[in-house]
């Protein structure tokens, strides 16, 4: 494993679940504060940070489709859910004293900027935390794919994916006590073994551009800052 990688610019994927706390949906203000403080620590260390935020705590197109809703229509509703999360996260980050911008893939000009790549890069160069909302703007995609897409566009050094467990396992460690944890995997390992960490579209996008993915547990204060320093437990996909 590489010793203390020094990152210049990173993307953190914040799932909707990460903002949910102990509840079964919605947003827990304490979780928003914890995630925001963690991000602020990374920014303070001199790393440029951008975020892709999910929406699964509010609405998922696929779940709605399983109950009879048109899939594309459900996915658009899911993308709007990510904008709600983005606004709450933006507020949390501002309370940490950070400068932020929300940029949406579906235009909502009264509350956020439209996503324009070169403008996003400029924001980051000025030290602002850019929150990318509304996923890719297309139904049938996920915010994981949006995270790989934006990380490539922003030329990030790595994509950090915060999850419920401290890396990638051979099976769900919460259900299978024999599940093995990996320190490092290749993109092909993840695809071939169908390891349930990000969808195949996201892994393929990262692979094509050699974007390292770092999977870690986000449920502890300071977890993101720790893995950005190269410490703690995580799985690296390269
Ligand atoms: N979504 C979409 N296109 C995208 C990103 C997201 O249609 O590019 C929709 C999709 O319905 C998804 C929902 O938005 O279920 C919420 O995103 P996701 O499930 O990825 O959020 P997370 O699991 O990270 O909370």
pLDDT in tens, 118-149: 999 999 999 999 999 999 999 999 999 999 99
Q: Is the ipTM of this complex over 0.85?
A: yes
Whether residue 101 is contained in a domain is answered as yes
Per the annotation, does 138 bind a ligand?
Answer: yes
Measured distance CA(217)–CA(163) in Å, rounded: 5
Alpha carbon distance 222, 36 (integer Å): 10
Domain assignment present for 48: yes
CA of 10 relative to ligand 1 center, distance in Å: 21
Q: Using one digit for the tens of pLDDT, what is the confidence trace for 30-71?
A: 999 999 999 999 999 999 999 999 999 999 999 999 999 999
pTM of the entire structure?
A: 0.95
Q: What are the tens digits of pLDDT across the range 171-198?
A: 988 899 999 999 999 999 999 998 989 9
Question: What's the CATH number where 111 sits?
Answer: 3.40.1160.10
Domain assignment present for 61: yes
Q: How many angstroms does the Cα of residue 19 sit away from the middle of ligand 1?
A: 15
Residue 78 lies in a domain: yes
Q: Is residue 137 part of a domain?
A: yes
Number of structural domains in the chain: 1
Residue 116 lies in a domain: yes
Range of the domain at 54: 9-160
55 in a known ligand binding site: yes
Per-residue pLDDT band at 5 (split at 50, 70, 90): low
* Domain membership flag for residue 72: yes
Q: Which of 70, 82, 140 is nearest to 106 (CA)?
A: 82
The reply to whether 180 falls in a domain is no
């Amino acid at each position: 494993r590489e010793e203390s990688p020094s990152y210049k610019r990173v993307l953190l994927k914040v799932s909707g679940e990460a903002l949910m706390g102990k509840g079964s949906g919605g947003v827990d203000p304490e979780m928003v504060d914890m995630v925001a403080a963690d991000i602020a620590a990374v920014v303070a260390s001199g790393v440029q940070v951008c975020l892709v935020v999910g929406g699964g705590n509010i609405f998922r197109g696929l779940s709605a489709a399983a109950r009879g809703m048109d899939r594309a229509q459900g996915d658009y509703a899911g993308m709007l859910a990510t904008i709600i999360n983005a606004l709450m996260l933006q507020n949390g980050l501002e309370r940490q004293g950070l400068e932020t911008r929300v940029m949406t893939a579906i235009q909502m000009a009264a509350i956020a900027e439209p996503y324009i790549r070169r403008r996003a890069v400029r924001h980051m160069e000025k030290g602002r935390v850019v929150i990318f909302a509304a996923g890719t703007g297309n139904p049938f995609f996920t915010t994981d794919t949006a995270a790989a897409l934006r990380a490539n566009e922003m030329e990030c050094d790595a994509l950090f994916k915060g999850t419920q467990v401290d890396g990638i396992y051979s099976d769900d460690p919460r259900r299978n006590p024999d599940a093995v944890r990996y320190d490092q995997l290749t993109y092909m390992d993840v695809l071939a073994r169908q390891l349930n960490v990000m969808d195949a579209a996201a892994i393929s996008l990262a692979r094509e551009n050699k974007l390292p993915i770092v999977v870690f547990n986000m449920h502890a204060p300071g977890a993101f800052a720790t893995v950005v320093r190269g410490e703690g437990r995580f799985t690296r996909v390269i």
